[in-house]
Structure 1
Amino acid sequence: MAASAASSASAPRPGVSFRRDLSEWRIVLVAWRLLVLQASHPVVAAGMEEHSTYRGHPWRRIEHTLGSGRRLFQADQEQLWREVKRLDRAHRRIRGTTEDGRTYDAHDPATRAWVLLTLFESVAAMRELSGDPYSADELEELYREFAEIAAVFGLPAGELPATAAELPGYLRRTTAERLEFTGTARHLLYDMLHEAPCPRRLRFLGPAGWRALRWAVAKVVTELTVADLPAVYRERFGLVRTRRGALLSRVLHGVGRMALTRLPDRLRYRAPGVRPPSRPRRMPRQDTRPPRLDRFFREVLDQTGDGWLTARDLQAMAHNVCWRLELTEDGEARVYAAFEAWWEQLRAGMDADGDGRISREEYVTATLAGCDRDPEYLEGGLLPALRAVFAAADTDGDGLLDFAEYRVLFDGRRVHPAELSHGFRQLDTDGDGVITAPEFLRGFVDYFTARAPSASGTQLLGHA
């Protein structure tokens, strides 16, 4: 990451932007390197092994990592806060004990700092490996921009290096004291691409064609990643940078630089509309949540159709889920308990006159106020109920919902089949034909909290 002495003396080039450079297509050349570095932290590795489906869905894992990075560092302030909240929710339950007795927690500040800093380090490495490193002044400018965004995570003081100049020392210390060549990192580096399923867009190749391409890609990615990993990392874990790997790295990064830097911005960047910090995107003029919540009340919550929300409606929802899925007694008990807890949250916060029923207006107003006031508001009732519903609807226990399973949850005379199909496609963010639990929950969080209509979950019941 250190720039040469000549580069250090030069003035910053105009328009330097961490957000913009993170979105350049060249970042894919260091994407696998980024994953290996992150997975070498024992807490990250433990979380991936115990709580991630990356082995069965590697492309989803990569897209989620890059997508999260885009939402953190390339979006407006609203999307940044939503992404931080989403990560907090997703990581809250990523904790436990490994087989060798070590505890891990995804909210560990040092782990979160490492994951964030690897994104910054990867952008700097992308430029350095292409023969066009940042000057020292540019690196500090980029790091200030990065640190301003990373501050939203509320890490303890001193967890992140104060300046870019301190990053090489941080990398050496963390590699020596914290990182391990974990089984997850080893699998990413040497095995995963040899086992990876065919991406949806390449199914035209057929099984034989995909096996041949997969073998070639795996060889190239492994050679490139080993060659590009930091020297301190390779020395620590005995990885050898071969001459072939070094040549491959020079060619790919050099060609990538020459080709992409000559393209117009709309082709050069994955997110060409990203603006620098000095020109933040404007907030939407109108809050689109009220009509969505009104519709949710009418088409999902008000099961009796009398215009009021009562305990009977929540019980009817639980009954419908259990009836259609023919759950075991224990499974039914979990669904009913989750819906009862949801009703208690609604009753306590919305039934002001204590008559045991909530109007549509009361529901919409109180839900908007709760979400604005407390980022964890939905955890008080809705999200636990949805987790129980997802587990119940996942009839084959594979952790995924296909469309047939999804339809059971929302099918009915008041929701048109076309709307169901549209909602399913909105939640299936990676387009693989199934919905994971995080996608399912994230969609509902978007539906209840996103002010703009662009978030995927805002259309889970179709167009408003």
Structure 2
Amino acid sequence: MSQTTAAETVDVFGPDSMLRRLVNEARWGLAVTRATVLEAAHPQIGTALIGNSTFVTHPWRRLRNTLVSTQRILDPDQRVRTREAARLNRLHARISGTDPQGRRYDAMDAEARAWVVATLFESAVTMYRLSGESLDGPAMEQLYAEFRALLALIEGDSDRLPATLQEFWPYFDDMIEHRLESTEAVRVILYRLFANVPAPPLLRSHPAVWAAGRAVAGPVAAAITIASLPESFCRRVALPDLPGARALMHGAYLTIAVATRLLPDGWVQVGSIMSLLDPDHAGGSGPWESVRRKADQAAAMLRLITPAPDETNQATRSADRFFAEILDQTGDGYLAWPDLAAMAREIAARLDLDEQDEERLFNAFAVWWRELQTNLDADGDGRVTRQEYAASAACLPSSGLVKIADVLFDVTDVDDDQTIDAQEYQTLFRTAFQRDLTDKGDSYSRSAFLRQFLSFMTGQQHSIAYNSLLSQ
């Protein structure tokens, strides 16, 4: 069997790369959504998603981070690719455990990582076919070679995927028949994520409008996704064959394909769509910027005429709300190490930390977690309930949080001048510099940073900046 190594990926993702063009198209989202369902049916991946991922509670953040990571992993500069591959491997090396049946799972499992790449390739091919653009033999061979090169970049080799395209399809069918299961993660994606996905940043000021639209769009998105999946997979995991779903699915794919062909390229690029949904993503640029500005103006007008919500200052309610919106990153109703690890991952990804700084950050969060366990985990089950947190939040120790704040300040202060300037602030928070939070006119001192961080992380003070970092 021929072997693809990381060194061979140098020229694969050059100007003629099919994969680099594909992942910048908005319709790539259809393929990724479909692939995610197939991935989630793998017992290793499904368990890791349920126990460690924030894709349900923070789907837009996950989407944005995935886009940034994909751009890095396919960057023309080999050094950028290698750095991102190393970061992803460090991230996955921290995810392991045991599923409810007592089976071990590990995010570094070679078979599972190969399956992720396999589902993306097969979903890309399906996306082209359903869009009326079936790939010819050479194009499909090239695309498959690029996906194998992608696996080699992150895994070190591509041996877990068949060497040839002809061998891939029997492998894919065999995985469906003998390895996939009807996991909780599959059901969560199809029936909970689509039904309860929170509003993107652009529409957060219109919760009623978003909820009404989601009530219709959620079931439609689930039906379209299910109808696009292989029939053998649907039988395997007992997904329903809804009347009219296949016609709806074909119509959706063809509509997006027509839009891709007819609209200017800038309007259908994934970055442009993300900049519309999330103003912080592209720094306020792109062809959709005028649309976003008008939406912002309408939202501001609506806020002026809408009565402010009734807020109380009760400590227990404040702690309860902070628990739900910030601490419970995985959305399972408990505070445990995966929730704090998710915060560390988000910060490390935003700042693109190297291995040493990333390790310092995770160690600081680990210190805080041990404090929380010692002081709040009354029944010793390794997790903190919302009630346990709310009852004792006011008297929590802060030494762990101080350690996190110190590390966070150090890694944000890239020029090591002991202040965080406007550019460093925006890199971390993806928002404009907040002068009112500092004790200096144009920078953020360590003491001011520490005060603000502790006030937010103990639930005492609201912060738009930290809310955008850890909850949106």
TM-score category (smaller protein): 0.5 to 0.7
Corresponding residue SS for 2:204 = helix
Q: Deviation string for 1:207-242 (max 9, x for gaps)?
A: 321211111121111111011112221122232333
Alignment match of 2:360 (pick from 367, 382, 395): 382
One-letter amino acid matched to 2:360? L
Instruction: Please report how far the alpha carbon of residue 64 of structure 1 lies from its aligned counterpart in structure 2 after TM superposition.
Output: 3.0
Q: What is the aligned partner in structure 1 of residue 137 from structure 2? A: 136
Aligned length: 311
User: Are the equivalent residues in 2 in contact too, given 1:140–1:165 (CA < 8 A)?
Assistant: no
Q: Tell me, in whole angstroms, the C-alpha distance in 1 between the residues paired with 2:232 and 2:58.
A: 30
Bigger shift: residues 262-271 or 239-248: 262-271
Normalised TM-score (structure 1): 0.59
1:100-111 to 2 correspondence within 5 Å?
Answer: 100-111=101-112
Q: What is the aligned partner in structure 1 of residue 99 from structure 2? A: 98
Q: Deviation string for 1:45-78 (max 9, x for gaps)?
A: 1111222223321222333334433332355322
Q: What is the aligned partner in structure 2 of residue 423 from structure 1? A: 424
Q: What is the aligned partner in structure 1 of residue 85 from structure 2? A: 84
Q: Tell me, in whole angstroms, the C-alpha distance in 2 between the residues paired with 1:141 and 1:414.
A: 49
Q: What is the aligned partner in structure 1 of residue 152 from structure 2? A: 151
Q: What is the aligned partner in structure 2 of residue 369 from structure 1? A: none
Q: What is the aligned partner in structure 2 of residue 278 from structure 1? A: none
Instruction: Please report how far the alpha carbon of residue 150 of structure 1 lies from its aligned counterpart in structure 2 after TM superposition.
Output: 2.2
User: Are the equivalent residues in 1 in contact too, given 2:224–2:249 (CA < 8 A)?
Assistant: yes
Q: Tell me, in whole angstroms, the C-alpha distance in 1 between the residues paired with 2:209 and 2:187.
A: 26
Instruction: Please report how far the alpha carbon of residue 271 of structure 1 lies from its aligned counterpart in structure 2 after TM superposition.
Output: 6.1
Bigger shift: residues 144-153 or 176-185: 144-153
Structure 1 residues 410 and 392: alpha-carbon distance in aligned structure 2, compared to 1, 3 A threshold:
farther
Q: Deviation string for 1:95-135 (max 9, x for gaps)?
A: 11112110111111000101122222222121011111101
Q: Percent identity?
A: 34
Q: What is the aligned partner in structure 1 of residue 220 from structure 2? A: 220
Q: Tell me, in whole angstroms, the C-alpha distance in 2 between the residues paired with 1:184 and 1:211.
A: 23
Structure 1 residues 430 and 34: alpha-carbon distance in aligned structure 2, compared to 1, 3 A threshold:
farther
Instruction: Please report how far the alpha carbon of residue 389 of structure 1 lies from its aligned counterpart in structure 2 after TM superposition.
Output: 6.7
Q: What is the aligned partner in structure 2 of residue 197 from structure 1? A: 198
Q: Tell me, in whole angstroms, the C-alpha distance in 2 between the residues paired with 1:428 and 1:47.
A: 27
Q: Tell me, in whole angstroms, the C-alpha distance in 2 between the residues paired with 1:152 and 1:383.
A: 26
Instruction: Please report how far the alpha carbon of residue 182 of structure 1 lies from its aligned counterpart in structure 2 after TM superposition.
Output: 0.5
User: Are the equivalent residues in 2 in contact too, given 1:113–1:155 (CA < 8 A)?
Assistant: no
User: Are the equivalent residues in 2 in contact too, given 1:33–1:228 (CA < 8 A)?
Assistant: yes
Q: Deviation string for 1:400-452 (max 9, x for gaps)?
A: x99xx959963999644x62x65344234699x9xxxxxxxxxxxxxxxxxxx
Structure 1 residues 430 and 24: alpha-carbon distance in aligned structure 2, compared to 1, 3 A threshold:
farther
Q: Tell me, in whole angstroms, the C-alpha distance in 2 between the residues paired with 1:135 and 1:69.
A: 25
1:58-69 to 2 correspondence within 5 Å?
Answer: 58-69=59-70
One-letter amino acid matched to 1:90? L
Gaps of 5+ in 1: 1-13, 273-374, 434-459
Gaps of 5+ in 2: 1-14, 273-353, 377-383, 390-399, 435-468
Q: What is the aligned partner in structure 2 of residue 410 from structure 1? A: 409
One-letter amino acid matched to 1:57? H
Structure 1 residues 204 and 252: alpha-carbon distance in aligned structure 2, compared to 1, 3 A threshold:
same
Q: Tell me, in whole angstroms, the C-alpha distance in 2 between the residues paired with 1:382 and 1:376.
A: 9
Structure 1 residues 50 and 142: alpha-carbon distance in aligned structure 2, compared to 1, 3 A threshold:
same
Bigger shift: residues 221-230 or 231-240: 231-240
Q: Tell me, in whole angstroms, the C-alpha distance in 2 between the residues paired with 1:386 and 1:406.
A: 9
Larger-Rg structure: 1
Q: Tell me, in whole angstroms, the C-alpha distance in 1 between the residues paired with 2:182 and 2:430.
A: 32
Q: Tell me, in whole angstroms, the C-alpha distance in 2 between the residues paired with 1:236 and 1:91.
A: 28
